[in-house]
Amino acid sequence: MINALNRKSIMTLFSDPLCHYSHRARFILCEKNASADVEFVDGKEFPEDLQELNPYGTLPILIDRDLALFDSRIIMEYLDERFPHPPLYPIDPVSRARSRLLIHRIDKDWYTLLDDVINAGEKKAAKAKKLLRENLIAALPLFEANKYFLSDEFSLVDGVLAPLLWRLPLYGIEFPKEAVAIKNYIALVTSRETFRESLSSEERDMMESHELMAS
């Protein structure tokens, strides 16, 4: 790829095919039904011209004309504002701020643990797996409160949560019978047509392989 920013005439999302941060950006892109290309890039072999767009060497990266964005949260918020219908954040500033804070906590409390489950050494990964399961079960009342997560309408918060929760079975994180609200929520958000559209072929293969092994 040569000069990725200049050669793109259509919005383009550069995405790792397996990374949960890239997945959630793809999910929101599908929710917005935005006219955009998705180009899959191996995050372990980061192209030089993308390095110029993101000095941290991480995916996803969104290019829209002469704008280049990195960090999945910034990308998701930009997509929500760039394509305002339907809005995925509340309209009023107070509720919007609360949603942003909630996403921040999900990232700090749950996504950080998932990162350790996937990338840390065996001992630290096992501890993270246990903590993630316990933290989610402790949040059971929040899953029970509304149809979606603390809302009766699908929101950006659900777009953040779905890729994380969808991956839990792959790492042996299961819930007890009494956590039915969490199981129902996972089924609800991952059954959305836009969620299925957001999956890369590698993610589909990954889940199918897991299901075959578990059967």
Q: How many CA atoms lie less than 13 Å away from 203 in the CB half-sphere? A: 23
Beta-sheet strands, E only, within 110-164:
none
Active site residue 30: no
Alpha carbon 159 to its chain's center: 6
In 3D space, the residue among 79, 30, 17 whose CA is nearest the CA of residue 195 turns out to be 30
**10-13 CB contacts, 8 Å cutoff, 24+ apart:** 10/35, 10/36, 10/37, 11/35, 11/36, 11/37, 11/62, 11/63, 11/64, 11/65, 12/36, 12/37, 12/38, 12/39, 12/62, 12/63, 13/37, 13/38, 13/39, 13/60, 13/61, 13/62, 13/63, 13/75
Give me the catalytic one of 19, 30, 59, 199: 19
Catalytic residue numbers?
19
